């Protein structure tokens, strides 16, 4: 009977998790599609524009990733409040989340506006930096809206209304693509702004999606009772400090992981242009598949938080394990694809029949074979970290991430790839070891912390 009850609980939790995870994963894929289309359309303006645009896009997206990581804690705390029926706390968390997003946006906008000298110090080509500045100084005005939308996305998802996020995000992608075309080439009477036009199109898209999220909250009958914007003008220092205290380790964790891949890319460049190109093919493919476990991670954070709010410790443990299980199942499928048809994946990026690309093709196929190994570990670690966020456990996962990515992953990758001359495959095997250590340790940490809850 107990086994039947446990099986029933697991199936019930899987349905609840998928109800949140599917639209959130779709939203993450849509965001990845935005970067893809922006990069594709930058290429229409020429090679130099593509290089400069990529430089600007990487700068913008890195800051956005780190800061949205910090404010993702809003979703975790709202989920706990929702689970415990604290309606008034939900609205206060939402508004303090918007205050925090504004506070984070201001210094980031200043850094992006004056990023030119910083990029020059990093050894970038002056012509690329000048062109990248035109992009950054147009897209920077959309940063507060992107942050605000991230807050509202977390809030409405924690209140079990995730489907609206997907619809709004996909609509924003379509608007961004149309805006790119119109402002790049000066259609319908608009001036031809080139690369800056892509930045302005993104800014417009960010503000429209933010406005759409605000409008949805006002008109949705299930959300009206929360009066989410009622305490917007009231700054709650205590609650604000709680968000900062719980959220900053998440931002550091995101920074550490992003830094690992950035340094790996630099080492790939040290090994040669063909290796770097192959690395980009394998990495871009992995980023797309990774968006799904990121969505599952957000869903797991919410489900664990809701269970904690209901004082259901066993339910929180089941939520965490089910989320990890769903992620492992999905990433096992992508690993199989990477392993069995790497040549077809590579053919999506470059002409595999061109003999000049032979070195890139062979290396990319080898890297996709290694990527197949870390798919499962990558999914496990991000979802386990999400489950821990639901328990408001963020500082220890930050330390685990730092040790896993930099001490295990980067060190072993450097030894295998550079010292032992295994090349790009050795560097990627280092990523596998780092992600494997992180996934096992974070899952163990979730087990220990969740067992302490009575």
pLDDT computed for residue 1 by the predictor: 43
- pLDDT of 73-105, one tens digit each? 999 999 999 988 888 899 999 999 999 999 999
Residues 263 and 204 in one domain: no
Residues 230 and 254 in one domain: no
Residue 281 confidence (pLDDT) above 90: no
Residues 67 and 207 in one domain: yes
- pLDDT of 163-219, one tens digit each? 888 899 889 989 999 999 999 998 988 888 888 999 999 999 999 999 999 999 999
State the total domains in the chain. Answer: 2
Domain of residue 86 covers: 21-235
d(CA 343, CA 366): 10
pLDDT computed for residue 263 by the predictor: 79
- pLDDT of 107-162, one tens digit each? 999 999 998 888 888 677 788 788 889 999 999 999 999 999 999 999 999 998 88
In-domain check, residue 13? no
3-state SS, residue 229: coil
Tokens of 360: 């890139």
Tokens of 311: 């004082």
Residues 167 and 75 in one domain: yes
Residues 277 and 396 in one domain: yes
This prediction's pTM: 0.85
Let me know the angle formed at the C-alpha of 254 by 110 and 140, rounded to the nearest 5 degrees.
25
**Confidence bin at 4 (pLDDT 50/70/90):** low
Angstrom CA distances, 271 to 132, 317, 343, stand at: 26, 44, 22
**Above pLDDT 70, what percent of the chain?**
96
Residues 40 and 131 in one domain: yes
Q: What is the mean pLDDT of the chain?
A: 88
Residues 229 and 349 in one domain: no
In-domain check, residue 14? no
pLDDT computed for residue 27 by the predictor: 85
Angstrom CA distances, 157 to 27, 301, 442, stand at: 11, 10, 24
**Above pLDDT 90, what percent of the chain?**
49
Select from 424, 39, 20 the least CA-distant residue to 202: 39
Q: 256: Cβ–Cβ under 8 A, 6 or more apart, which residues?
A: 398, 401, 402, 405, 406
In-domain check, residue 391? yes
Within 10 Å of residue 425's Cβ, how many Cβ atoms?
17
CB 364 within 8 A of CB 282: yes
CB 56 within 8 A of CB 132: yes
pLDDT computed for residue 349 by the predictor: 75
d(CA 120, CA 101): 29
In-domain check, residue 304? yes
In-domain check, residue 15? no
Residues 225 and 262 in one domain: no
Residue 235 confidence (pLDDT) above 80: yes
| Average pLDDT rounded to a whole number, residues 13-32 | 87
Residues 180 and 318 in one domain: no
């Amino acid at each position: 009977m107990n086994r039947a009850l446990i099986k029933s609980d697991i199936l019930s939790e899987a349905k609840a998790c998928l109800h949140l995870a599917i639209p959130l994963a779709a939203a993450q894929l849509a965001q990845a599609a935005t970067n893809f289309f922006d990069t594709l359309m930058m290429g229409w303006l020429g090679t130099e524009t593509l290089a400069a645009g990529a430089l600007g896009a990487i700068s913008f997206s890195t800051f956005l990733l780190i800061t949205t990581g910090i404010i993702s804690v809003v979703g975790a705390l709202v989920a706990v409040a929702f689970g415990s029926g604290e309606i008034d706390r939900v609205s206060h968390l939402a508004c303090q989340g918007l205050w925090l997003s504004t506070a984070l946006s201001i210094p980031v906008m200043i850094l992006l506006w004056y990023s030119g000298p910083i990029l020059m110090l990093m050894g970038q080509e002056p012509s690329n930096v000048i062109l990248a500045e035109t992009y950054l100084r147009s897209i920077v005005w959309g940063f507060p809206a992107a942050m605000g939308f991230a807050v509202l996305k977390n809030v409405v998802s924690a209140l079990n209304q995730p489907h609206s996020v997907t619809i709004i995000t996909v609509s924003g992608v379509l608007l961004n693509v149309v805006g790119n075309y119109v402002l790049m080439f000066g259609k319908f009477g608009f001036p031809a702004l080139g690369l800056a036009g892509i930045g302005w199109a993104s800014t417009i898209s960010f503000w429209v999606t933010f406005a759409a999220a605000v409008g949805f909250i006002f008109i949705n009958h299930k959300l009206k009772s929360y009066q989410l914007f009622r305490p917007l003008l009231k700054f709650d220092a205590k609650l604000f400090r709680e968000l900062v205290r719980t959220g900053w380790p998440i931002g550091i964790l995101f920074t550490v992981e992003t830094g690992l891949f950035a340094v790996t890319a630099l080492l790939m460049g040290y090994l040669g242009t063909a290796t770097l190109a192959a690395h980009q093919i394998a990495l871009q493919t992995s980023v797309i598949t990774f968006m799904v476990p990121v969505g599952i991670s957000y869903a797991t954070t919410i489900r664990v938080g809701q269970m904690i709010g209901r004082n259901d410790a066993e339910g929180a443990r089941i939520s965490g394990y089910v989320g990890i299980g769903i992620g492992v199942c999905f990433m096992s499928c992508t690993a199989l694809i990477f392993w069995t048809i790497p040549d077809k994946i590579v053919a999506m990026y470059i002409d595999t029949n061109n003999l000049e690309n032979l070195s890139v093709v062979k290396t990319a196929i080898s890297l996709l074979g290694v990527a197949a190994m870390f798919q499962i570990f990558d999914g496990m670690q991000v979802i386990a970290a999400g489950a821990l966020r639901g328990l408001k456990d963020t500082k220890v996962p930050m330390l685990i991430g730092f040790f896993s990515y930099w001490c295990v992953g980067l060190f072993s990758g450097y030894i295998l790839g550079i010292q032992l001359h295994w090349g790009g495959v050795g560097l990627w095997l280092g990523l596998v070891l780092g992600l494997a250590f992180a996934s096992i340790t974070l899952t163990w940490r979730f087990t220990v912390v969740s067992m302490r809850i009575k």
